[in-house]
Amino acid sequence: MKQMLNTLYVMTGNSYLSKQGETICVHVGGREKVRIPIHNLESVLCFSKTTVSTPLIAFCAERGISLSFFNEQGRFYGRIEGPVRGNVLLRTTQYSNTKSEQGFTLAKNFVVCKIANSRNVLLRSARESNNEKSKGILQKASSQIAHLVTQIKTATSFEQLRGIEGIVANRYFGVFDHMIKSDDEAFVFEKRSKRPPLNRVNSLLSYFYMLLMNDVRSALEGVGLDPAVGFLHALRPGRPSLALDLMEELRAPLCDRLVLAMINLKQIQGNDFEILPTAVRIKEAARKNIIKTWQNRKRDKIIHPYLNERMYIGLIPHIQARLLARHLRGDIDYYPPFYWR
C-alpha cells in the first residue's frame, strides 16, 4: 500500500524556496518562515510569484518530488520533475491502446462511473432537501442521466462516448443550483463556466478540480503511466488526457460534494471572492481555507469498493492509477472504476 504523504502548498507571494540539509526552507521577504522535512512530501505546489533555487530543484528531482507552478487562482503554468518513472513496456501498451477495443472499454467505464457518482450526489442532495420542488428536479435529473447508460452500451465510437459524457455534464450542472441550500444570492450557480469562471460557485469548482488534477497526475506518473495519453479525452498538445479520464469518476465524490458542503455549511462567504470584469477570483485567505479543507478531507478514511480495504481518501487517485496500470499490463481482466457508495 502506498504511504500517505503530504503536499506542500506555497500560497504567499514572493516566496523563495531553497534546500537546507534534508529540508525545504521557505523565505518570505528575506526572512525564514518555515522548514519542512522533504521525506514527508510527495509534491510541492507553488502559487503566485514563487522562486525556487537550483539545488532544491535537483534535490526534488532526485527524490521523485514534483514542483508545479500556478497563478493565484490555480491556472497551471508548468511542472518540473525528475527522470520518467516506470517501465517502457507499460507506456508502450498504454499508447497502443488509445484506439483499441481495450481503450474503448476503458473510456466506457470512465463515463459509466461518472454517471453513477453524479447520480449519487444528486440523490443524496434530494434526500437531504427540504424543498419538494428541488427534490423532484434532482430525482428527475438522476433518472435522465441513468438512462444514458443504455446509449453507452450501444456506442460504437469514441466521439459518441464524448457526446454522451457532455450530455451527462450538462444535465448534472443544469440542476446544480438545486443542491445549493444557501439563500445567499452570491452563490447562484446558473451554468458551468470554466476559463475563466464567471461566478463564485464556478470559481470554487475550478479550484478544487485543479487540486484534484495535481493529485491524479502525480498518481499516474507514480505508477509509470503517461498522463497526457488518455482514452476518453481526445489527445491534444499540453492536455493531460489520461488524468482527465481518471478525474471523470472522481470529480463528483471528491470535489463537488466538498464544494456543496462548504457553501451549505457557510464555511465560505460571498466576500471571500474578488469580482473582476471578466472573472471571479478567490481571495488569498479563502484559498488557504480551501486547501486546509481539501487536505483534511484527504485524511478521512473510507472502505475502497473494489479492494475492500480501509484507506485514506487521499490515496484513491493512487489506488485507481495502480489498478489501471495492472489492467494494462494484463494482471487483472478489467479496470474497476471508483464508485462512491
The answer to whether the pTM exceeds 0.95 is no
Q: CB-side exposure of 251: number of CA atoms within 13 Å?
A: 24
Residue 1 pLDDT class (50, 70, 90 cuts): very low
Looking at 3.40.50.970, 1.10.1200.10, 3.100.10.20, 1.25.10.10, the CATH number of the domain 6-80 comes to 3.100.10.20
Confidence (pLDDT) at 13: 78
Whole-number average pLDDT of the chain: 88
What is the spatial distance between Cα 340 and Cα 92, in angstroms, rounded to a whole number? 31
Confidence (pLDDT) at 5: 63
Cell digits of residue 333? 481482466
What is the spatial distance between Cα 124 and Cα 192, in angstroms, rounded to a whole number? 21
CA distances in angstroms from 131 to 174, 180, 264, listed in the order given: 17, 11, 14
Mean pLDDT to the nearest integer, 34-47: 83
Written as one letter, the residue type at 74 is: G
β pairing state of 50-52 and 15-20: parallel
Question: For the ranges 5-9, 128-132, 149-153, 201-205, which has the lowest average pLDDT?
Answer: 5-9
CA distances in angstroms from 118 to 11, 124, 250, 257, 258, listed in the order given: 31, 10, 10, 10, 13
Q: CB-side exposure of 211: number of CA atoms within 13 Å?
A: 26
CA distances in angstroms from 304 to 129, 256, 271, listed in the order given: 28, 19, 38
Confidence (pLDDT) at 193: 85
288 pLDDT higher than 60: yes
Cell digits of residue 312? 485514506
What is the spatial distance between Cα 24 and Cα 37, in angstroms, rounded to a whole number? 6
pLDDT tens digits along 233-287: 988 888 899 999 999 999 999 999 999 999 999 999 989 999 988 888 999 889 8
At the topology level, CATH places domain 89-329 in: Four Helix Bundle (Hemerythrin (Met), subunit A) (1.20.120)
What is the spatial distance between Cα 265 and Cα 177, in angstroms, rounded to a whole number? 15
304 pLDDT higher than 80: yes
Confidence (pLDDT) at 222: 77
On the 0-12 / 13-18 / 19+ scale of CB atoms within 10 A, 165 is: buried
First to last CA, the chain: 22
Written as one letter, the residue type at 11 is: M
124 pLDDT higher than 90: yes
200 pLDDT higher than 80: yes
Residue 228 φ then ψ, to 5°: -85, -15
Question: For the ranges 77-86, 122-131, 267-276, 302-311, which has the lowest average pLDDT?
Answer: 77-86
4 pLDDT higher than 60: no
What is the spatial distance between Cα 166 and Cα 171, in angstroms, rounded to a whole number? 9
114 or 79: which leads in pLDDT:
114
Helix (H) or strand (E) holding 327: helix 316-329
Closest CA to 211 of 292, 115, 272: 292
Structural domain boundaries in the chain: 6-80, 89-329
CA distances in angstroms from 192 to 18, 209, 301, listed in the order given: 39, 13, 30
Residue 183 DSSP label: -
What is the spatial distance between Cα 66 and Cα 82, in angstroms, rounded to a whole number? 8
Written as one letter, the residue type at 50 is: T
Question: For the ranges 70-84, 116-130, 244-258, 273-287, which has the lowest average pLDDT?
Answer: 70-84
Helix (H) or strand (E) holding 302: strand 301-303
Highest mean pLDDT pick, 166-170, 185-189, 195-199, 282-286: 166-170
Share of the chain above pLDDT 90, in %: 50
Residue 42 pLDDT class (50, 70, 90 cuts): confident
Cell digits of residue 4? 500517505
Confidence (pLDDT) at 214: 87
Indicate left, alpha or beta for 243 from its phi (over 0: left) and psi (-120 to 50: alpha): alpha
